């Protein structure tokens, strides 16, 4: 089986460095601290009221899953934002293109190297998420669906970072642009949807009034897809308060025939493919521009 040489080299370099185990350690320490503190607060509440509310343990699952989702959004652009621009700064990108390695191989190798780290983080967080199994309410297929949501988000955000890294020359600028693009993708589409719906309907979006087309912008929003998965698993009461009105309006209007989650996954995969194609075009176009500038 032929392995992408970029992915092979990046995997060996990350496995030998101290950075990877440190990221895994800090990532799981944050998740474990959040989970244990939340569980301690719930146990303290049980001691005071002598009542066990099992819905609060589902809240533990939602809270830990949301913290992990936010951490992934912060980590992935840092992993991929300087991948190609770093090679350009070290003046090794042109050397790679002189070999039999293609621009697509470079782009997908860099993306796969970043996603392998993300996959390791997601798998290593399974023991923390498994705390909710003590009290029930969530099954292994639910956790598998949540992990699939994480992977789709990782591919999309990683593609954004790869594109910014291929389009911009400096790693710091590319990484900053990747974070800005993710912020626009997550928060910007939500703000636009709320503004288009009208300020009078921000707290009452369950009605049939208001524009519908802004809601389709949320198909490319990984946060909305993430919450729609949580609502399918634990109900709207345990969802994120900021996004719940939008999700409930989408459900009430039965947009896309009630298959919003699946259509959102397809839309984000299509966006990832378009960004990777644009990144490949950026990598291949630079040598041609240099030859034209030199008069070759």
Residue 282 domain flag:
yes
What confidence score (pLDDT) does residue 192 get?
A: 74
Tokens representing 254 are 């039965």
**210-228: per-residue pLDDT in tens?**
556 677 788 888 988 888 8
pLDDT confidence band for 253 (50 / 70 / 90): low
Residue 51, domain member (yes or no): yes
Among 118-122, 125-129, 186-190, 234-238, the range with the most confident prediction by mean pLDDT is: 118-122
pLDDT for res 206:
45
Is residue 135 classed as helix, strand or coil in its secondary structure?
coil
Average pLDDT value for residue range 152-159: 94
Poorest-pLDDT segment among 160-174, 178-192, 222-236: 222-236
More confident residue, 44 or 208: 44
Report whether pLDDT(208) > 50.
no
Domain membership of residue 5 (yes or no) is no
State pLDDT tens for residues 264-286: 899 999 999 999 999 999 888 75
The total domain count for the chain is: 1
DSSP for residue 53: -
CB neighbourhood size of 116 (10 A): 17
**Residue 3 lies inside a defined structural domain of this protein:** no
Return d(Cα 201, Cα 176) in angstroms, integer.
34
Q: What phi, psi does 287 have (nearest 5°)? A: -60, -35
The share of the chain scoring above pLDDT 90, in percent, equals: 19
What pLDDT does residue 161 have? 93
Q: Please give the mean pLDDT across all residues of the chain.
A: 80
| pTM listed for this prediction | 0.84
Q: How confident is the model at residue 180 (pLDDT cuts 50, 70, 90)?
A: very high
Report if residue 1 sits inside a domain.
no
Residues 6+ apart with CB under 8 A from 89: 169, 170, 171
Nearest to 217 by CA among 244, 242, 193: 193
- Mean pLDDT value across residues 32-48: 79
**pLDDT recorded at residue 204:** 47
Say how far apart CA 287 and CA 277 lie, in whole Å: 17
Token pair belonging to 205: 């979006």
Q: How far is CA 73 from the centre of its chain?
A: 5
- Give the torsion sign (CA, 237, 263, 157, 211): negative
Regarding predicted confidence, which is higher, 110 or 4? 110
- List the one residue out of 86, 80, 87 whose CA is nearest residue 101: 87
Buried b (16+ CB within 10 A) or exposed e, 178-195: bbebbeebbeebbeebbe
Q: Give pLDDT, residue 183.
A: 92
Q: Report the C-alpha gap between 235 and 247 in whole angstroms.
A: 11
Whether 202 shows a pLDDT value over 50: the answer reads: no
Does some domain include residue 296?
A: no
| Structure confidence at residue 278 (pLDDT) | 93
**Picking from 106-115, 135-144, 146-155, 193-202, which range would have the lowest pLDDT averaged per residue?**
193-202
In a domain, 164, yes or no: yes
Most confident range, picked from 42-56, 212-226, 244-258: 212-226
Please tell me the distance from the alpha carbon of residue 124 to that of residue 91, in angstroms, as a whole number.
35
87-97 pLDDT, tens digit each:
888 888 888 88
The stretch 121-130 carries a mean pLDDT of 87
130 lies in a domain?
A: yes
Residue 242: DSSP 8-state: T
Predicted local confidence at residue 212, as pLDDT? 67
Q: Mind giving me the DSSP string for 115-184?
A: HHHHHHHHHHTHHHHGGGGGT-S--HHHHHHHHHHHHHHHHHHHHHHHHHHHH-SSHHHHHHHHHHHHHI
3-state helix, strand, coil in the chain (%, to 5): 80, 0, 20
Is residue 121 within 8 Å of residue 72, measured between CB atoms?
yes
Residue ranges making up the domain that contains 112:
10-286
């Amino acid at each position: 089986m032929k392995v992408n040489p970029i992915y092979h080299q990046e995997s060996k370099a990350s496995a030998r460095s101290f950075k990877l185990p440190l990221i895994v350690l800090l990532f799981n320490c944050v998740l474990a601290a959040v989970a244990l503190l939340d569980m301690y607060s719930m146990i303290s509440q049980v001691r005071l009221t002598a009542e066990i509310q099992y819905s609060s343990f589902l809240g533990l699952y939602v809270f830990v899953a949301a913290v992990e989702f936010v951490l992934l959004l912060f980590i992935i652009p840092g992993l991929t934002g300087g991948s190609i621009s770093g090679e350009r700064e070290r003046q090794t990108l042109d050397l790679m293109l002189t070999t039999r390695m293609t621009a697509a191989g470079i782009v997908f190798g860099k993306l796969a190297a970043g996603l392998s780290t993300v996959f390791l983080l997601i798998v290593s967080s399974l023991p923390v998420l498994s705390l909710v199994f003590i009290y029930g309410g969530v099954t292994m297929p639910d956790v598998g669906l949540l992990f699939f949501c994480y992977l789709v988000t990782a591919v999309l955000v990683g593609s954004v970072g790869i594109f910014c890294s291929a389009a911009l020359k400096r790693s710091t600028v590319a990484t900053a642009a990747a974070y800005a693009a993710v912020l626009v993708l997550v928060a910007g589409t939500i703000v636009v949807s709320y503004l288009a719906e009208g300020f009078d309907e921000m707290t009452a979006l369950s009605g049939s009034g208001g524009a519908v087309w802004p809601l389709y912008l949320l198909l490319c929003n990984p946060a909305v897809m993430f919450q729609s998965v949580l609502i399918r698993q634990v109900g709207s009461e345990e969802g994120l308060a900021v996004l719940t009105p939008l999700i409930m309006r989408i459900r009430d209007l039965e947009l896309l025939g009630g298959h919003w989650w699946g259509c959102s996954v397809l839309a984000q995969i299509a966006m990832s493919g378009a960004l990777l194609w644009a990144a490949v075009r950026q990598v291949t176009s630079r040598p041609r521009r240099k030859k034209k500038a030199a008069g070759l």
